Structure 1
Amino acid sequence: MGFTGLIFLSSGLFLGWSLGANDAANIFGTAVSTRMVRFKTAAIVCSIFIALGAVISGVGAAYTLGSLGAVNAIAGSFVTAFAAAFTVYSMIKCGLPVSVSQAVVGAIIGWNWFTDSVTDVQSVVKIASTWVACPLLAGTFSAVIYLVLNRLLRSAKIHLLRRDYCTRVAMIVTGAFGAYSLGANNMANVVGVFVPVAPFVEFDFAGLHISAVQQLFFVGSVATAIGVFTYSHRVMGTVGKGLMPLSPFAAWVVVVAQSMVLFLFASEGLEYFLASHNLPTVPLVPVSSTQAVVGAVIGIGLCKGAAKTIKWSVVVRIVCGWIITPVIAATICFFALFFMQNVFYQRVYTPKTYFISERVYNKMVADGLPANQIGVLKGERYKSGVEFMNAVRARVGKMSSATEQNLLNTAELLKIYIDPEKFENLDPQMFSEEQISQIKQLSGLTFSYRWELQDALIKISPEWAYRPATVINKRYNKALAVELSQIENVFTVRKKAKKRNLLYED
């Protein structure tokens, strides 16, 4: 990646700075405001464990923001990240702790709006519902934990100084875990869109293999650490004591409740465990640590019967910030994309074409999709997902989000050429030798749709087929989807952008 690519990456680093300036308040805000942990200590611990979480676990972050829309051009990624970062920065300037995930969701929707791409309404509803459930759960957890542990501590009669020491240690340990989770779960939102153009070379250090993506995530974590040191102190004040005064013990409970909520919505292992024991599962969706902290603080205030001590005017300001954050991010992203495309002549998205051929029609029939109603669309070519779905809805009517996504994936026209010279681009850590050998059997073939590629692989080995869509099979299907996406990215033939003044070729 050249100088232009580094400029594009800067918006991701700006978003990383915003993450550190904002979300560090969720981890150590209550500890710092109650003076149980010094800001410098909190910032150092937070920065170290954010970096560890990003490098060790960040590459496999399981957020579902990608289902809202796939930003498919580097300039579009730059604008999307910048819109989210600028929105968060503006809210921080107002002293309001907002959600980075909310800003990213809004920016992606703004990108969909500009590019005429279809937004998965079901994903939006699912994510938005967690913005309500998250603070409610955090408030419930904090209230229960506070009542139970407070009673136990009273009966234990621990000396005040010893209790104070244990609380300080517990805050640091819990904060370190929260910081690790923040790096692991949020760094993909910061620089994940730049993974294909990571400007680093893999190397081995002390017996460890450091990939280019891990280096990219580390750079993102450095930007986050700078945000922690330079600006998080202001937001910590709002979270820690702007809502209501907290005792050191209550401050620790807030951090524990927040960590529990984040773990509940982010742990694939927990989801698999619950499903394997026929227990109800919690959807794995991105939740806001900011909302969790605010909910936890309010929960403690209510369980103590101290509702009057809660500064409800501050709560209203924060909630208003939550509501307008995605709207502002979407608006900024839309106009910034227009500016980037028409002033700097940068390609902010790669157009998609949808075409119902005879093969696509037969595939829809085989998959149980409403092919009969849309059979009259055979031979028609559509230049965007919205245009295609409008034509389909006019004949089929209302459909589920899953059906709409299946129709889009089935009809999207591509050119996938299995070029023998590109086999070396397949990640050997992702594919086994047997899988690479199976892919090589397709050498020289061209596929017009992604499902044709998968069908060809299934004929070679049934291991390339998705398993039934159950929670138990979710992990397997997700890994398979990543593998198929990697194959598609390596072998898809992309058209070069037309030069226009300063327009760069892809």
Structure 2
Amino acid sequence: MLLLFYLSSGLFLGWSLGANDASNIFGTAVGTRMVKFRTAATIGSIFVILGAFISGAGATETLGKLGSINMIAGAFMVALSAAFTVFAMTKMALPVSTSQAIVGAIVGWNFFSGKVTDPAILGRIASTWVTSPILAALFAFLIYKGMKALSRHVSIHMFRVDAYTRIGLILIGAFGAYSLGANNIANVMGVFVSVTPFRDWTLLHWTISSTQQLFLLGGIAIAVGIITYSKRVMLTVGTGVVKMTPQSALVAVLSQSVVLFLFASKGLKTFLTSHGLPSLPLVPVSSSQVVIGAVLGIGLVQGGRQIRYRVIGRIVMGWVSTPVIAALITFVALFFLQNVFNQDVYETQRYALTPAVVRQLETEGIALDTTRFEDRYPNEVSLNRALKKYTVLTAAERTRVLELARVTPAPPSGTPADTPRP
């Protein structure tokens, strides 16, 4: 039961995502009153669960590289801190990013546990905070222009236009909800993957992995958030940045869905890379940033006169502050959980540059003079700091040294250490 209690913070985070990020899928449709909230919530809930369960593994690996949380109590507090951050910002009606909140929380855990935050992975994730809204704005700009050009050459009765737009909003919204579930379930349950309490479950010839069970629970939590608390943010997104028409709402949803799919599809990435084509990284993308980028692109097509820059300014401030606040809250919360409730929030690991490690590094072409180094380091950060001080190794080479020098698990007091990892 204690393990299930620890998962509750991930479920709370899923609910927060459903109340905030997932609402952006149908926000423009509901804001323009083309789709009823009940319809949007039902369709969004079904497809976000399907996306999480079927295709949720794509972006989880990237978050694991940013910070692999190795104790379930630590995972509980990381998810809870991120959820609290999102919930607080949601109460202020700001469509903040769950992706940024969980990234900030993981970085906070890294600081507390003495783990090194890989700047390359962090940079790859942070770059999507810029590229995803820009891509959405670009797609929205081009699609809106194309629809305008098409409308000048094809005459459709206004009632049919209205019906086609409504159907399009529902179909594209379902596609967007699926992509969101596939991409953002990593934010909800990704920190629990390495410490999951579940076992693989086999029925006849079907096997549901422990990770899929986590993703199913997380998808249900997102769906509950959509149904119970997303209406307010839907109206904010649909009407708060720029005045939307039903047709522009269709463009916004389509642009957002395409961008989410590009960052979520493992199959598409494999296809592109196998043919030597460039591809986007599989990372959790903020649906809030994507939809606002799309809405902004539509506003630019219309001349930019209807864009409410004050609302955009408040939203951007939320984006900047969310990861910082989440990291600070996580650090304080982990300290409280460890020292007040005596819970182990991370597995202590030591690092040693033994002769075996040095020989292995030499075979890989990494020369290391150990005369300046200590026999043992208490955590990853301390060894990484020494490597930066005494060597000119690249970031990738330092990462390899850290992998080889890690002694896992750390020995209890008074017992000999385990041998370093080969």
For normalisation by structure 1, the TM-score amounts to 0.78
AA in 2 matched with 1:326: P
Count of aligned pairs: 415
Once the two structures are superposed, the pairs formed by residues 3-402 of structure 1 within 5 Å of their partners are 3-195=1-193, 196-199=195-198, 202-204=201-203, 208-305=206-303, 307-371=304-368, 374-376=369-371, 380-397=375-392, 399-402=393-396
AA in 2 matched with 1:390: R
Which residue of the partner structure matches residue 400 of structure 2?
406
Cα deviation for residue 101 of structure 1 reads: 0.8
Output the CA distance in 2 between the equivalents of 1:60 and 1:215. Answer: 15
AA in 1 matched with 2:136: A
The structure having more radius of gyration, on CA atoms, is 1
C-alpha distance after superposition, 1:199-225 (max 9, x if no partner): 4672528x7444443333222222111
Output the CA distance in 1 between the equivalents of 2:394 and 2:252. Answer: 39
C-alpha distance after superposition, 1:315-351 (max 9, x if no partner): 0000000000000000000000000001000000001
Cα deviation for residue 290 of structure 1 reads: 1.1
Cα deviation for residue 279 of structure 1 reads: 3.1
Q: Describe the shift of the 1:259–1:58 C-alpha distance in structure 2 as closer, same or farther (beyond 3 A).
A: same
Cα deviation for residue 185 of structure 1 reads: 1.7
The range that moved more, 316-325 or 289-298, is: 289-298
Cα deviation for residue 404 of structure 1 reads: 2.2
Q: Describe the shift of the 1:227–1:129 C-alpha distance in structure 2 as closer, same or farther (beyond 3 A).
A: same
AA in 2 matched with 1:334: F
C-alpha distance after superposition, 1:174-193 (max 9, x if no partner): 11111111112222321233
Output the CA distance in 1 between the equivalents of 2:281 and 2:220. Answer: 31
AA in 2 matched with 1:448: T
Output the CA distance in 1 between the equivalents of 2:263 and 2:242. Answer: 27
Output the CA distance in 2 between the equivalents of 1:255 and 1:174. Answer: 7
Output the CA distance in 2 between the equivalents of 1:216 and 1:71. Answer: 16
Cα deviation for residue 263 of structure 1 reads: 2.2
Q: Secondary structure at the match of 2:116?
A: coil
Q: Secondary structure at the match of 1:165?
A: helix
Alignment check: 8 A CA contact 2:184 2:285 kept = no
Cα deviation for residue 281 of structure 1 reads: 3.2
C-alpha distance after superposition, 1:137-157 (max 9, x if no partner): 111110001101221133111
AA in 2 matched with 1:6: L
Q: Describe the shift of the 1:124–1:215 C-alpha distance in structure 2 as closer, same or farther (beyond 3 A).
A: closer
Output the CA distance in 2 between the equivalents of 1:184 and 1:326. Answer: 22
Output the CA distance in 1 between the equivalents of 2:118 and 2:182. Answer: 25
RMSD: 2.1
Output the CA distance in 2 between the equivalents of 1:285 and 1:222. Answer: 21
Alignment check: 8 A CA contact 2:48 2:179 kept = yes
Work out the percentage of aligned pairs sharing the same amino acid: 52
Q: Secondary structure at the match of 2:243?
A: coil
Cα deviation for residue 359 of structure 1 reads: 1.1
AA in 2 matched with 1:18: S
Alignment check: 8 A CA contact 1:31 1:240 kept = yes
Output the CA distance in 1 between the equivalents of 2:380 and 2:69. Answer: 14
Cα deviation for residue 403 of structure 1 reads: 2.2
Output the CA distance in 1 between the equivalents of 2:314 and 2:308. Answer: 10
C-alpha distance after superposition, 1:25-69 (max 9, x if no partner): 210000001111100000000111111112222245455122221
Cα deviation for residue 378 of structure 1 reads: 6.3
Output the CA distance in 2 between the equivalents of 1:349 and 1:54. Answer: 27
Output the CA distance in 2 between the equivalents of 1:283 and 1:188. Answer: 14
Alignment check: 8 A CA contact 2:176 2:258 kept = no
Output the CA distance in 1 between the equivalents of 2:19 and 2:47. Answer: 15
Cα deviation for residue 448 of structure 1 reads: 3.4
Q: Describe the shift of the 1:4–1:200 C-alpha distance in structure 2 as closer, same or farther (beyond 3 A).
A: same
Output the CA distance in 2 between the equivalents of 1:131 and 1:52. Answer: 25
Output the CA distance in 2 between the equivalents of 1:275 and 1:124. Answer: 22
The structure showing larger relative contact order (alpha-carbon pairs under 8 Å, at least 6 residues apart) is 2
Alignment check: 8 A CA contact 2:200 2:207 kept = no
Cα deviation for residue 102 of structure 1 reads: 0.4
Alignment check: 8 A CA contact 1:62 1:266 kept = no
Q: Secondary structure at the match of 2:102?
A: helix
Output the CA distance in 2 between the equivalents of 1:51 and 1:387. Answer: 42
Output the CA distance in 2 between the equivalents of 1:149 and 1:56. Answer: 33
Alignment check: 8 A CA contact 1:134 1:261 kept = yes
Q: Describe the shift of the 1:135–1:357 C-alpha distance in structure 2 as closer, same or farther (beyond 3 A).
A: same
Alignment check: 8 A CA contact 1:32 1:236 kept = yes
AA in 1 matched with 2:300: L
Unaligned runs of at least 5 residues, structure 2: 411-417
Alignment check: 8 A CA contact 1:264 1:282 kept = yes
AA in 2 matched with 1:153: S
For normalisation by structure 2, the TM-score amounts to 0.93
Q: Secondary structure at the match of 1:246?
A: coil
Q: Describe the shift of the 1:304–1:327 C-alpha distance in structure 2 as closer, same or farther (beyond 3 A).
A: same
Output the CA distance in 1 between the equivalents of 2:278 and 2:2. Answer: 48
Alignment check: 8 A CA contact 2:64 2:190 kept = no
Output the CA distance in 1 between the equivalents of 2:209 and 2:281. Answer: 30
AA in 2 matched with 1:344: F
Output the CA distance in 2 between the equivalents of 1:98 and 1:184. Answer: 19
C-alpha distance after superposition, 1:270-324 (max 9, x if no partner): 333333333333333332111111111011110121x121110000000000000
Cα deviation for residue 412 of structure 1 reads: 0.9
Output the CA distance in 1 between the equivalents of 2:271 and 2:219. Answer: 31
Alignment check: 8 A CA contact 1:81 1:104 kept = yes
AA in 2 matched with 1:342: N
Alignment check: 8 A CA contact 1:370 1:396 kept = no
Q: Secondary structure at the match of 1:381?
A: coil
Cα deviation for residue 449 of structure 1 reads: 4.1
